Amino acid sequence: MKRIALTICLLIAVAVSAQENKLLRGFDGGMMVHTGYLSGNLDAVGYQATGAPLGIGGVIRLHFGGHFMVGSEGYVSTLSQQSNGSYLKYGWGGILANFYTVLGRFQPYAGLTLGGGAMTTLLMFEEPASAWEPVDGTCYHKQGFMAIDPFVGCDFIVAGPMHLTLKVDHLCAISESKLLPHGPRVYIGFLFYH
């Protein structure tokens, strides 16, 4: 919580300073949903996890100059497994920077997010005998991670401040706790510019 408060204070201080020096050109923010394809082996339990995650999250960015943005983003992504309530859930976020250009009604961009989060795993290998009975063969684990998340995307300028965005990323763990499974995610959402 302290890190989030410090990050917000730092972003506000940078924005105020940039506004005074006429560097700040505006800001944007919005929500995105995502899916993709993830795959990886959970060595601790000898389980191969694969599938299409579903998730939601958002982004807020400050615009500097004509082609640079700095901000923050955060998402939750769930990869359901075995059709019995088992899942792998990622919650992550961080500080981002990206470059963009405007080509007519299209605004392609590329950038990088540095941050981290946590992965929660719940795997049930057996079915309960009846409702409300304990399930043997259940594994639960939660671990934090630091990550780097490169991304590319393109906005379509709908009208004035409203943009549709399409983005692809690949979340990569950089900490000792390896993030598995991994793979590309595709995001689609609405952004509002000011």
Q: How confident is the model at residue 130 (pLDDT cuts 50, 70, 90)?
A: confident
pLDDT digits (tens, 9 = 90+) for 142-172: 999 999 999 999 999 998 899 999 999 999 8
- What is the percentage of the chain residues whose pLDDT exceeds 90? 64
What pTM did the predictor assign? 0.84
Mean pLDDT of the 115-121 span: 93
pLDDT digits (tens, 9 = 90+) for 67-104: 999 999 999 999 999 988 899 999 999 999 999 999 99
Contact 68, 170 (CB under 8 A): no
Q: What is the DSSP letter of 103?
A: B
Q: Give the model's pLDDT for residue 178.
A: 65
Distance from the first to the final alpha carbon of the chain: 28
Residues 6+ away with beta carbon under 8 Å from 140: 120, 121, 122, 123
Bigger pLDDT: 43 vs 118: 118
Contact 117, 146 (CB under 8 A): no
